[in-house]
Amino acid sequence: MNLTILGSTGSIGKTALDIVRMYPDRFNIKALTAANNISALVGQIEEFEPEMVAVLDETKALELSRVLTGKCKPEIQYGESGYLTAAAWERSDMVLLAMVGAAGLKPALAAIEAKKQIALANKETLVMAGEIVMEKARENGVDILPVDSEHSAIFQCLAGNQAKDFKRIFLTASGGPFRRRPLEDFSSITLGDALNHPTWEMGHKITIDSATMMNKGLEVIEAVHLFGVSHDEIEVLVHPQSIVHSMVGFRDGTIMAQMGVPDMKAAIAYALSLPDRLNLDLGFPDFATLNSLTFAPPDVDKFPSMTFAFEACKQKGTLPAVMNAANEVAVQAFLEKRIGFLGIFDIISNTMGLHTRIDNPDLSGIIEADNWAREKAKSLI
């Protein structure tokens, strides 16, 4: 399998390369992209010898060219055009889309139009333009395989079952670091508090999304498009042990759950190697010492992101893209300590409330809504 990894220096990209390292006879890296982490990218280039790489801008491209001293001298491109070239790289069979945020949308479409199979870790692609992306995939005969552990779990639970028997998705969430913190204490949450996730190791943006539970809201919208279901058929459950990665209920009352230790390696490997399962030496949960697996509904008073996401699902049109853009701007402002934790919710709510929704937008309409929401959120900050 020849692979392109978009976002190779992030947590998903690095884990995917760990799998490639374990199975060098099975996977070849043809293209890599990264935004700013040139030092990490250099190490990846020297080890995996891709044919081309793309970085954020010309300055980063020049820096990369200067520091590459090994025998591998890949073609170096930069900016949006560079990412699109990598996404459609001729000698790649599959693209792992591990970029963070709305920046993943255009490369995803470029990969689909080039008829590459997609391993999708960038949930924003489907949040923003799920109907367009899924239709393009159908037109081009492209499979979109989920990489998020929850969506991989749902995908595995649905396998071998008939669509007519489906009844409900139970989407699990760890609950993040503030599951037990009273709402009245949220105003004192620091950046360090929010980046201290109890279960998963992720990039800063996704870690904050987990703390606000927006990550789960985005996953609800992603599931709607991936599996062709209604938001009314999705129930979010807080499951702090993170052993049950998600469940599917069927009309005969049967519920199938996919379980495993909380490690993204399994979900990534499953997408890359389907229909095979690779030996990853992860081991199994120690059920004898777990004592219990608990589930509870999310507290929407503490985490209104759930309300935002279900409302965006209900109204559709450009509202999901606006929600996502406002969240990206608000999270970045929180990471830069320009707003407090509760300010993230305020910015998203106010931006969504000020938006005049457009139904059935084309791609340009979605991008226009995304740009509008970013400017509006920045002005509110």
- Which of 146, 174, 193 marks a domain boundary? 146
> Is the domain of 139 the same as that of 156?
no
Residue 26 in any domain: the answer is yes
pLDDT at 241: 93
Cα–Cα distance measured from residue 5 to residue 14, given in angstroms and rounded to the nearest whole number = 10
Q: Which residues neighbour 333 within 8 Å (Cβ) at sequence distance 6 or greater?
A: 339, 343, 344, 347, 381
Same domain, 179 and 100: no
231 in a structural domain: yes
Q: Give me the pLDDT at residue 59, please.
A: 94
pLDDT tens by residue, 268-325:
999 999 999 999 999 999 999 998 999 999 999 999 999 999 999 999 999 999 999 9
Based on the fold, state whether residues 164 and 239 are members of the same structural domain: yes
Distances (CA, A) of 354 to 4, 155, 350, 376: 39, 36, 6, 9
Q: Are residues 89 and 229 in the same domain?
A: no
Residue 10 in domain: yes
| 142 and 157 inside one domain | no
User: Residue 88: which of 112, 61, 119, 104 has the closest Cα?
Assistant: 112
Question: What residue ranges of the chain have pLDDT lower than 50?
Answer: none
Domain boundary among 111, 126, 146: 146
Residues paired with residue 53 on neighbouring β-strands, in sequence order: 32, 76
Residue 55 counted as domain residue: yes
Residue 294 CB neighbour total at 10 angstroms: 11
Looking at the structure, tell me whether residues 85 and 112 fall in a common domain.
Answer: yes
Assigned domain for 185 exists: yes
Q: Look over the chain and give the mean of its residue pLDDT values, rounded to a whole number.
A: 95
Q: Are residues 126 and 12 in the same domain?
A: yes
Tell me the whole-structure pTM to 2 decimals: 0.94
Query: Of 118, 146, 174, which residue sits at a domain end?
Result: 146
Query: Over the stretch 175-223, which tens digit does the pLDDT of each residue have?
Result: 989 999 999 999 999 999 999 876 666 678 989 999 999 999 999 999 9
Number of domains within the chain: 2
246 shares a domain with 208: yes
173 and 309 in a single domain? The answer is yes
**Same domain (yes/no): 123, 157:** no
Residue type present at position 140: N
Q: Are strands 144-146 and 166-173 parallel, antiparallel or unpaired?
A: unpaired
Q: Is residue 253 part of a domain?
A: yes
Task: Using DSSP bridges, classify how beta strands 52-55 and 28-33 pair: parallel, antiparallel or unpaired.
Answer: parallel
Using CA atoms, how far residue 260 sits from 123, 148, 216, 271, in Å, is: 22, 14, 19, 16
CA-to-CA distance for 269 and 119, rounded, in angstroms?
10
Q: Is residue 109 part of a domain?
A: yes
The pLDDT of residue 200: 60
Are residues 25 and 131 located together in one domain of the fold?
yes
Residue 23 sits in which domain range?
Answer: 2-146
Backbone φ and ψ of 97, nearest 5°: -90, 95
Cβ-count burial of 127 within 10 angstroms (0-12 exposed, 13-18 middle, 19+ buried)? Answer: buried
Same domain, 141 and 211: no
The answer to the question of residue 19 being in a domain is yes
